[in-house]
Chains A and B, each alone.
Chain A
Amino acid sequence: MEQYYKPEHLPHFGQIGEGSPELAEKFFAYYGAVFADGALSVREKALIALAVAHTVQCPYCIDAYSKECLQQGSDLEQMTEAVHVATAIRGGASLIHGLQMLDHVKQVAM
Chain B
Amino acid sequence: MVEVQSESVEELEGVEAGAKPTTSLYRRRSPLSSPQYQIERLAAVDLSHTPHQADFAKTLASQGIQTFRPARLENFQINVGKLCNMTCRHCHVDAGPDRVQENMDRATVDACLRALDQTEAHTVDLTGGAPELNPHFRYLVEECVARGKHVIDRCNLTVLLLPRMQDLPEWFAERGVEIICSLPHYRKFNTDAQRGDGTFEKSIEALRRLNAVGYGNGDPQRRLTLMSNPAGAFLAGNQAKMEQEWKAGLEKNHGVRFDRLIALNNMPISRFLEWLEQSGNLQRYMEVLVNAYNPATVAGLMCRNTLSVSWDGRLFDCDFNQMLDLECQLPGQRPHIRDFDPKLLAQREIVTGTHCFGCTAGAGSSCGGAIDA
Contact present for A28 and B237 (CB under 8 Å): no
Q: How large is the interface on A (under 10, 10 to 19, 20 to 34, 35 or more residues)?
A: 20 to 34
Count contacts between A and B, CB distance < 8 Å.
66
Closest partner residue, chain A, to B244 (CB atom): A41
Q: Which of B51-59, B182-190, B304-312 contacts A (4 or more CB under 8 A)?
A: B182-190
Q: Among the interface residues A14, A32, A46, A68, which one has the most CB atoms of the partner chain B within 10 A? A: A68
Within 8 A of A (CB), among B218-241: 230-232, 234-238, 241
Asked if B237 and A72 sit within 8 Å, CB to CB, the answer is yes
Q: Is the CB of A43 within 8 A of B245?
A: yes
The reply to whether A10 and B234 form a contact with Cβ atoms under 8 Å apart is no
Q: Which residues of chain A (56-88) have a CB below 8 Å from chain B?
A: 64-65, 67-68, 70-73, 75-78
Q: Min CB distance, A27 to chain B, in Å?
A: 10
* Contact code string A1-36 (vs B, CB < 8 Å = 1, else 0): 000000000111111000000000000100110010
Segment of B7-15, B118-126, B150-158, B364-372 engaged in the interface with chain A: B364-372
Quick one: which of A15, A37, A65 contacts B241, CB cutoff 8 A?
A37
- CB within 8 Å for A41 and B370 given contacts A73-B185, A75-B185, A75-B189: no
* A73 B237 Cβ-Cβ under 8 A: yes
User: What is the CB-to-nearest-CB distance from A75 to chain B, in angstroms, rounded to a whole number?
Assistant: 4
Secondary structure class of chain B's binding surface, majority of residues: loop
Cβ-based interface call for B262 (8 A)? no
Inter-chain contacts of A28 with B (CB < 8 A): 371, 373
In this complex, what residue of B is CB-closest to A67? B234
Q: Among A10, A72, A73, A76, which residue has the most Cβ atoms of chain B within 10 A?
A: A73
Measured between beta carbons, the chain B residues less than 8 angstroms from A35 are: 366-368
A67 to B237, CA, bound (A): 11
Please determine whether B372 and A14 come into contact, CB atoms closer than 8 angstroms. Answer: yes
Closest-CB distance, A60 to chain B (whole angstroms) = 9
Q: Is B230 in contact with A70, judged by CB distance below 8 angstroms?
A: yes
Q: How many angstroms from the CA of A31 to the CA of B245 in the assembled complex?
A: 24
| Alpha-carbon separation in the docked complex, A77 to B253 (Å) | 15
Chain B, 331-373, CB within 8 A of any chain A CB: 365-368, 370-373
- Residues of chain A with a CB closer than 8 A to B185's CB: 73, 75
**Alpha-carbon gap, A96 to B161, bound state (A):** 54
- Choose from B245, B366, B373 the contact partner of A73 (Cβ within 8 Å): B245
Q: Check if B187 sits within 8 Å of A68, measured CB to CB.
A: no
Q: Which residues in B have their C-beta under 8 angstroms from that of A48?
A: none
Q: Are A75 and B237 in contact (CB under 8 A)?
A: no
Q: Which residues of A contact B241 (CB under 8 A)?
A: 37, 41-43, 72-73
CA distance A67 to B365 in the complex (A): 11
> Cβ of B367 and Cβ of A65 under 8 Å apart?
yes
Q: How far is the CB of A39 from chain B (nearest CB, A)?
A: 14
Contact of A46 among B230, B367, B370 (CB under 8 A): B367
B373 pairs with A71, CB closer than 8 A: no
B365 contacts which chain A residues (CB < 8 A)?
71
Max chain B Cβ within 10 angstroms of own Cβ: one of A14, A15, A67, A71: A71
Chain A residues with CB under 8 A of B235: 71
Tell me if A42 and B187 are in contact (CB < 8 A): no
A38 to chain B, nearest CB (A): 12
Complex Cα distance, B230 from A36, in Å, reads 21
Question: B365: nearest residue on chain A (CB-CB)?
Answer: A71
**B residues whose Cβ falls under 8 Å from a Cβ of A:** 185, 187, 189-190, 230-232, 234-238, 241-242, 245, 365-368, 370-373
- Which residues in A have some Cβ–Cβ distance to B below 8 Å? 10-15, 28, 31-32, 35, 37, 41-43, 46, 49, 64-65, 67-68, 70-73, 75-78
Contacts A/B (CB < 8 Å), 24 sampled = A11-B370, A11-B371, A13-B370, A13-B371, A14-B371, A14-B372, A28-B371, A31-B371, A35-B366, A35-B368, A37-B238, A37-B241, A41-B241, A41-B245, A43-B237, A43-B241, A43-B245, A64-B370, A67-B234, A70-B232, A71-B365, A71-B366, A73-B237, A76-B189
Q: Beyond A28-B373, A73-B185, A76-B189: 14 further Cβ-contacts under 8 Å?
A: A13-B371, A35-B366, A37-B241, A46-B367, A67-B234, A68-B366, A70-B230, A70-B232, A71-B234, A71-B235, A71-B365, A71-B366, A72-B237, A75-B231
Q: Which 4 A-B pairs have the closest CB atoms?
A: A14-B372, A75-B189, A73-B237, A75-B190
